[in-house]
Amino acid sequence: MSSNQIDKIRNIGIMAHIDAGKTTTTERILYYTGKSHKIGEVHNGTATMDWMIQEQERGITITSAATTCRWNNQVINIIDTPGHVDFTIEVERSLRVLDGAVGVFDAVSGVEPQSETVWAQADKYKVPRLAFVNKMDRMGADFDNCVNEIREKLDKKAAAIQRPIGSEESFNGIVDLIEMKAIYFPAESLGSKIDIKDIPEDLVDECQMYRDELLDNLSEYDETLTDLILNDEKPTVANIKAALRKAVIKDNFIAVLCGSAFKNKGIQPLLDAVVDYLPSPTDRGELHGHSIKNPENTEVRRPEVDEMFSGIAFKIATDPFVGSVTFVRIYSGKLESGQTVYNPIKKKRERINKIFQMHADKRTELQEAFAGDIVAVAGFKDTTTGETLCTENKPIIYDLMEFPETVISVA
Ligand code: GDP
């Protein structure tokens, strides 16, 4: 379902070093957000694998260039971010169209060299991020070491917003340091219920200490929080969440979470954090591009539905059912089926024959799509990856990071 409630959209990428668990984490996210795979229906640890195999047999790509899912009434679009170092241009291209990202780390290996490369690229586009320390069930898993490496190797202001409960094989839950509650994932099977309890007594002091550290970190970014702390008043959960959201979005502060994707532990709190702390398309503010006639002149679009249409084609793919589709991130205005849009680089009109939203297990045809949405469009003839699409009477060109000279030659 497309949404014209732009505040409810999260366009995210999942970035990881090879083997850290990006595929498993994405698969679990699609499972827990999947309408056709309701939590509680499946009691068997191999359910995802069975589901994946079925999907593959039906010829459906689970991770298309962008997959739409829903969590708590919010729309989450997962944009495929190639993880391999050889694809840095592709990584940059996808980073351009997402608003936030989750970095997945292996709790044993910590921050590996390739993560540093991808993170440096994400820094270039100032992509707000959460870190998910995965594989907490492995022997040698070390959450605190990972948090430290994020600070030191990635040179980030970062703090844990969770503490693990149990370690290695006995890892079975997390403490939410903001709400100060324990969340247990009692069974390893997919779809099993989570239990919310008081923090175990032996962890209370430690958790209080880490919570103070988090608040201390956040008070740097938020005056309300600073004032409360200075006046010895207790900040509310809402105060802390607001401060954290601001720090993540405006100051690239990294909130660190943990879990084990493989053992189905920690995914639901990760999804909550994506909604709570990563930006919606409006949080990035106005969009700046060039005018065609005079590249010195900045064209501005508000990320709103009632603005003129603008978007970027970020991937061309072949869908087994639909044929050739162009994935478009809509920055402003809306797209309607049957309408034409303008490609200012090619100086060509393109017809929108059909608009689709891609889900893990199906595609939905839409009559219209709105600012903030990511959709697949059938019907384009001349547009290639990275090009802007807009209204013909007042064109705008967004920077093409991979071919900056193209922008200049248009003048
Ligand atoms: P990717 O290369 O980042 O996409 O990583 P994958 O998701 O393919 O995972 C790499 C390997 O690590 C696979 O064998 C997974 O089963 C395993 N793995 C993923 N998540 C976990 C986890 O939480 N715990 C453990 N022990 N293994 C995991």
Q: State the average pLDDT over residues 61-66.
A: 64
Query: Residue 115: which of 156, 63, 153 has the closest Cα?
Result: 153
Q: Which residue is closest in CA terms to ligand 1's atom 9? A: 21
Kindly give the number of the ligand 1 atom that is closest to the alpha carbon of 138.
Answer: 26
- Rounded to whole angstroms, the Cα distance separating 115 from 34 reads 29
Of 120, 245, 234, give the one whose Cα is nearest residue 180: 234
**pTM confidence score:** 0.90
Binding residues for GTP: 16-23, 80-84, 134-137
Residue-wise burial string across 209-238, b where 16 or more C-beta atoms lie within 10 A, e elsewhere: ebbeebbebbbebbeebbebbeeeeebeee
Nearest residue (CA) to ligand 1, atom 10:
19
The whole-angstrom separation of Cα 135 and Cα 48 is: 18
Cα 385 to ligand 1 centre (Å): 31
What is the chain's mean pLDDT, rounded?
Answer: 86
Distance 21 CA to ligand 1 centre (A): 4
At 215-230, the pLDDT tens digits run 999 999 999 999 998 8
| 28-60 confidence digits (pLDDT tens) | 998 888 754 443 333 344 445 455 555 544 443
Give me ligand 1 centre to Cα 266, in Å: 14
Count Cβ atoms below 10 Å from residue 283 Cβ, excluding itself.
18
Percent of the chain with pLDDT over 90: 64
Q: Which of 15, 19, 62, 188 is the best mutation target for the ligand 1 pocket, counting ligand atoms within 8 Å of the beta carbon and taking the most?
A: 19
At 39 the pLDDT is: 36
Nearest CA to ligand 1 atom 17: 21
Pocket of ligand 1 (CB under 6 A): 16, 18-24, 134-135, 137-138, 260-263
User: What is the ipTM score, two decimals?
Assistant: 0.99
Say if residue 13's pLDDT is above 60: yes
Question: Which residues are within 8 A (CB) of 125 and not within 5 positions of it... i.e. 6 or more apart?
Answer: 92, 95, 96
Residue from 15, 22, 24 to probe ligand 1 pocket by mutation (most atoms less than 8 Å from CB): 24
Rounded to the nearest whole angstrom, what is the distance from the C-alpha of residue 360 to the centroid of ligand 1? 19
Res 90: pLDDT: 67
Residues in contact with 255: Cβ distance below 8 Å, sequence separation at least 6, in sequence order: 130, 131, 158, 159, 161, 244, 248, 273, 277
Q: 257 CA to middle of ligand 1, Å?
A: 17
Q: Which atom of ligand 1 is nearest to the CA of 20?
A: 3
- Nearest protein Cα to ligand 1, atom 11: 19
In angstroms, how far is CA 131 from the centroid of its own chain?
A: 11
pLDDT of residue 375: 96
Annotated binding site: 16-23, 80-84, 134-137
